[in-house]
Structure 1
Amino acid sequence: MQDRRQTPRDKVFYGAVAEINERGSTMDCVVRNISEGGACVEFGNAARLPEEMNLNIARKGRSFLARLIWRQANRVGLAFRIMTSDTPVSDLDERVRRSEIKKRQLQRRIKELLGQG
């Protein structure tokens, strides 16, 4: 298979969360490799994935709007939407994004604790 990537990808093992619709549904996943333009991501079940999603990688402190490029079993290739210089990201936008990530992490932790109780 020919590698058509424009930038090389770094092999990583990052836990991530994919937001798969506007209602706040999420799926946990693992980022296997990443570059500025995209990533290879592994899901427990890739059959229910939409063509576009928001990928939150807590370890990098970043969130990416991503488009599904390919699927192979439970792995998918994602292309990140490139932010242009005329797309301003305010400090408030960044703080809201981080608080949403933290909220999802806390909600998952609450579910874990209630499930053990």
Structure 2
Amino acid sequence: MEDKRKLRRTRVLKAAMISFGGSAISCTVRNLTKSGAMLDVASPLGVPREFALVISSDDIRHECRIVWIKEQRIGVSFKPDRES
């Protein structure tokens, strides 16, 4: 099977939060690239299509869009930063 990813993924194991509308859901970041991530969640139910991924330990916040969901895993792409 050929790997069609454009960027090499870095495996990580970081606690994070899916933040949206004043609410938050705990998750674990399993791998990371400059353009997206794979997250583990207890359940994908209630996770909106777009949200902020907050990794407090690294002081990182990415605006995200869900690309795929499979069981308790969610693939997200990071939205481009807006320039002022």
Same fold (TM over 0.5): yes
Which 4+ runs in 1 deviate beyond 4 A?
none
User: Pick from 14, 31, 34: which aligns with 1:33?
Assistant: 31
Q: How does 1:79-94 map to 2 (within 5 A)?
A: 79-83=77-81, 87-88=83-84
Which has the larger share of helix?
1
SS in 1 for 2:34: coil
TM-score where L is the length of structure 1:
0.66
| Bigger radius of gyration among the two | 1
Higher relative contact order (Cα pairs below 8 Å, separated by 6+ residues): 2
TM-score where L is the length of structure 2:
0.90
Unaligned runs of 5+ in 2: none
Aligned to 1:6: 6
Q: Give, in whole Å, the separation in 1 of the partners of 2:24 and 2:47.
A: 10
Which has the larger share of strand?
2
CA RMSD of aligned residues (A): 1.5
Unaligned runs of 5+ in 1: 89-117
